[in-house]
Structure 1
Amino acid sequence: MSARRRIGSVAMVPAVVLGLVMATEFAPPASAATCHAPEANIDPPPGSPTTGAGQMPTGRRPRGTNDQAPLPKLGPLIAALINPNGTIRQQAGVVPAAPYPGTQAVPNAAQPAQPAMPAPNLGADPGISTGDPAGAVAAAQTSLVEWLTGPNSPNQTLQRFGISGTDLGIPWDNGDPANRQILMAFGDSFGYCRIPGHQWRQNLLLRTQDSNLADGITVGPGVVGNKYSGSPLLQPNFSKQLLPAVKLAPSQAGMIPTAGIGIAGNQYMSFMSIKNWGRDGEWSTNYSAIAVSSDNGESWGVYPGTVRSSSPENVPRAQFVPGNEKFQMGAFLRGNDGYLYSYGTPSGRGGSAYLSRVPERAIPDLSKYQYWNGDNGGTWVPNNPAAATPVIPGPVGEMSVQYNTYLKQYLALYGNGGNDVVARTAPTPQGPWSAEQTLIPTGQIPGGIYAPYMHPWSTGKDVYFTLSLWNAYDVMLMHTVLG
């Protein structure tokens, strides 16, 4: 199989995805990093695909890390959390997850849904706390639960999905009443390192029904063509790249997911097109856009009308609208008032956070978006992203927001300029947001932590979130107990 496959033409698809740019085959023209982890350098199985080539983008390497450092199996703190027998230290009474055998067959029919944690009440008045939510966050205790990805995770993602290294793991509820699942989107991903190009893919998806997060997140086996299996597969034991490799910009180094949400049978994913990777948490984007899937994340198309160019020259076929540079990365928050709230930040980790909202039925129509302007008491300004004012001052890196039923406040997690994982609370999506409270100082997990994304089925006193560790280049599940 060629490392550079033909890009398919624009396709006509069912009404739910009309107007999308689709591709049936795709492969990234860019590349992957040298694999340092020895467990990723084992021989690949016969017939394993050859995708990607070259050097991995280094733009998300956090401040203070060494570009030439090897990728160890575990960072120093993580190693300290491991018992001599190799299991993760857990809280008292919690049994560590057993490794998933990966041999159980998944029927092609929809699997019965497992009971999920209760979803938050996001009504117009969700019940604002009169206590001290900031104090509850300040008193929080955070611990590692388990690895979600990597050759050493119980999910055995290298052997089962061709994933030895990846990041992000953005989780969202698919909203499917027939089969409730959490979908998780990942960024740049690597497979078997002895294959030229290291099987690099720009984005991937895993699925899970696991509602017992105390022992980690278990991902079921993948089955080709099964939209409820553990991952959309290109072939057995190899996850496929999700987004069609559309070429809207003259130069593109990656297509990285930033947020996801399931609404009315569709899965919506916000992503950014990378123009150039820099250093120390700095990179530039061509544009952000929204992709949609009507088959539970199995296949995706891109709405051309949702392209937000970050500067006039980046996307020749798209009109540049001042203010769209504020919405290159983001986070989705579904209200119970008919709106999808969409937070935005500029590219990289140095900007402030802004807020827009759109009626759920109009997600692909940028003209229907309203932007929060906090001046003069605050108001929603229609169809003018330049009017958006910061709701959270920068620096804000990869963020997630949800309503927390214990705090009775909205809770935001993100990485600050020092690469600490921090939290803020607010009575409304637009704020006012509290001062930062540190959940994890970056020094406690050396090697570069980033991208704390809250699990949507944990909304009470126990907050679970995915967290990426650069030096291992894989994703962990963390657990915070609010005070």
Structure 2
Amino acid sequence: MMRRMRGVTLTTVLTLTTGVLAAVTVAAPASAAPCGNSGILGSSLGGLFGSAFPGGFGSSGGLLGKSSDQQDLPSLGNGPTQTVRWVTGPRSPNRTDTRFGITGTDLGIGWDNGSGQTLMAFGDTFGDCNAPTQQWRHNVVLRTNDKDPSNGVDVPDGVAGDVRSGASVSAARPRFANEALPAVGVSGAEITTIPTAAIAIDGVQYMNIMSVRQWGAPGRWVTNYSIIATSRDNGQTWTTDPRTIRLNLPASVPGVEQIDDSNGKYQVNAYLRGRDGFVYQYGTPNGRFGAAFLCRFAPQDILDLTKYTYWDGKGWSPDTTKSEKVVTEPVGEMSVSWNDRLQRYVMLYGQETSGSLVLRTATAPQGPWSAPVTLLSSRQYSGVYAPYIYPTSGGDSRYLYFTASRWQDYNVMMLRTDLSQLALG
């Protein structure tokens, strides 16, 4: 359990932390998008991102080129995993560049909103390459009614004030998806806020985000904290809840005890609806080289960290420090879901050391998890990361649909894996 701090509340610590971040002078990026420059590593970037920016996204170290350089998706041969369609970008049927001001983005974390739609959360997003800041948004949310991903995902137009339209937009800019949550935007303080997991409970949307302090080498970054944001209008607007903060930096406030280091295990997260009524949260440290840990809670307690319990290797403990790994490192961004065809839980994640996307299965959320099975290798298609299981399958359980991002194109695609072709133990 998170240690109680002497004489202050967690809200106070969050206020102080964000106050320090807000005090930093924000310099707009001169160029930071997949536009007609040398990529986001270009010298015009100055000190905003630093020279190792790709460590926050893909593992291939590639550069972003012009927006028109997004490539057609290739056929991957006769293997079990195939590309379906781009979800975002100029080459997507959604034409997110002209309809939502999204030329490049990543992640695409999909979840069932509980009322017939799928919501999708994206990370750092760029639009008009000629705009002064290239329309950088730290995160955006799109909505779809499409329940059949076999031919991709169709996103309807955004309509101002319509919380079930394709995106949150304003009347003044109906073709520009609004940022969901802000960030200071300065390396060394808070460079961005990125979604890592989302779930709907009783009509409320919950999104777990990480506050990124600085990018490092490929696959490595440092976070300030993770925190849960809530939306009561179907992802139209979001508010962070300070009770859910998990600090990952020293709390240098007089009279305040340092936050438990075990919170660092839950900086990048994934939610799972267990068949036993609990919600399970898988967590990894910042970056893509840590192990995966596990906690659980009753759905109504999602905003009360004191009600969470942690897998200690034998059972469930209220003590955060007892949290033991359930999957050995390295584990990148992950997603977990129950699969009716396999009658098992399925976990997808990126394996940074091999540049591959892998799948594991288990009969219980805590495992034991099977050995990883490769779904997509870097030799087949390089620079692909962050596989997120799509919440609908179009009625054909033979296929597992998931989104993933590719660094070179800096956009999100839909893929599918034929489960009947996998050798699962």
Alpha-carbon distance in 2 for matches of 1:460, 1:452? 18
Give 2:43's aligned residue: none
CA distance 1:29–1:413, shift in 2 (3 Å) = farther
2:58 aligned partner, one-letter code: P
Give 2:407's aligned residue: 470
Matched, 1:401 2:339: no
Alpha-carbon distance in 2 for matches of 1:330, 1:412? 12
CA distance 1:61–1:456, shift in 2 (3 Å) = closer
Alpha-carbon distance in 2 for matches of 1:211, 1:68? 31
Give 2:200's aligned residue: 262
- Correspondence for 1:165 among 99, 104, 119: 104
1:334 CA drift (Å):
1.3
Alpha-carbon distance in 2 for matches of 1:144, 1:66? 20
- Correspondence for 2:381 among 441, 445, 470: 445
Alpha-carbon distance in 2 for matches of 1:250, 1:303? 23
Map 1:16-35 onto structure 2 (within 5 A).
31=29, 33-35=31-33
CA contact (8 A) 2:222 2:286 kept: yes
Give 2:13's aligned residue: none
1:254 CA drift (Å):
0.5
CA distance 1:227–1:58, shift in 2 (3 Å) = same
Alpha-carbon distance in 1 for matches of 2:134, 2:305? 38
Matched, 1:339 2:278: yes
2:238 aligned partner, one-letter code: W
Give 1:362's aligned residue: 301
Kindly provide the CA deviation profile for residues 295-348 of structure 1, in whole angstroms up to 9, marking residues without a partner as x.
Answer: 100111111011101132489989512310000011000124332110000000
Alpha-carbon distance in 2 for matches of 1:61, 1:256? 11
Map 1:128-277 onto structure 2 (within 5 A).
141-176=80-115, 180-234=116-170, 235-245=173-183, 251-277=189-215
Give 1:426's aligned residue: 362
Give 1:12's aligned residue: none
Gaps of 5+ in 2: 1-17, 19-24, 40-46, 421-425
Alpha-carbon distance in 2 for matches of 1:36, 1:265? 36
Alpha-carbon distance in 2 for matches of 1:366, 1:292? 15
Alpha-carbon distance in 2 for matches of 1:198, 1:315? 37
CA distance 1:61–1:260, shift in 2 (3 Å) = closer
Alpha-carbon distance in 2 for matches of 1:314, 1:478? 45
CA distance 1:205–1:69, shift in 2 (3 Å) = closer
Indicate the percent of aligned positions where both proteins have the same amino acid.
44
Secondary structure of 1:425's aligned partner = strand
Give 2:240's aligned residue: 302
2:196 aligned partner, one-letter code: T
1:204 CA drift (Å):
0.1
Give 1:73's aligned residue: 69
Alpha-carbon distance in 2 for matches of 1:346, 1:366? 18
Matched, 1:330 2:269: yes
Alpha-carbon distance in 2 for matches of 1:466, 1:318? 41
In the superposition, the TM-score normalised over structure 1's length comes to 0.73
CA distance 1:61–1:315, shift in 2 (3 Å) = farther
CA contact (8 A) 1:250 1:315 kept: no
Alpha-carbon distance in 2 for matches of 1:470, 1:262? 29
1:166 aligned partner, one-letter code: T
CA distance 1:362–1:246, shift in 2 (3 Å) = farther
Matched, 1:288 2:226: yes
CA distance 1:430–1:65, shift in 2 (3 Å) = same
Secondary structure of 1:284's aligned partner = strand
1:212 CA drift (Å):
1.6
CA distance 1:55–1:310, shift in 2 (3 Å) = closer
Alpha-carbon distance in 1 for matches of 2:27, 2:340? 45
1:66 CA drift (Å):
3.8
Secondary structure of 1:386's aligned partner = helix
Alpha-carbon distance in 2 for matches of 1:32, 1:460? 47
CA distance 1:409–1:187, shift in 2 (3 Å) = same
Count how many residue pairs are aligned between Structure 1 and Structure 2. 380
In the superposition, the TM-score normalised over structure 2's length comes to 0.83
Alpha-carbon distance in 1 for matches of 2:88, 2:190? 26
1:260 aligned partner, one-letter code: A
CA distance 1:60–1:401, shift in 2 (3 Å) = same
1:409 CA drift (Å):
0.4
CA distance 1:381–1:31, shift in 2 (3 Å) = farther
Give 1:123's aligned residue: none
CA distance 1:332–1:29, shift in 2 (3 Å) = farther
Secondary structure of 1:393's aligned partner = coil
CA distance 1:292–1:420, shift in 2 (3 Å) = same
Secondary structure of 1:397's aligned partner = coil
1:161 aligned partner, one-letter code: F
CA contact (8 A) 2:60 2:407 kept: no
Kindly provide the CA deviation profile for residues 54-89 of structure 1, in whole angstroms up to 9, marking residues without a partner as x.
Answer: 6584332434424587777345xx5543xxxxxxx9
Map 1:73-112 onto structure 2 (within 5 A).
73-74=69-70, 78=72, 80-81=74-75
Kindly provide the CA deviation profile for residues 392-428 of structure 1, in whole angstroms up to 9, marking residues without a partner as x.
Answer: 1010000000000011000000001222000000000
RMSD: 2.9
Give 1:62's aligned residue: 58
Alpha-carbon distance in 2 for matches of 1:268, 1:322? 24
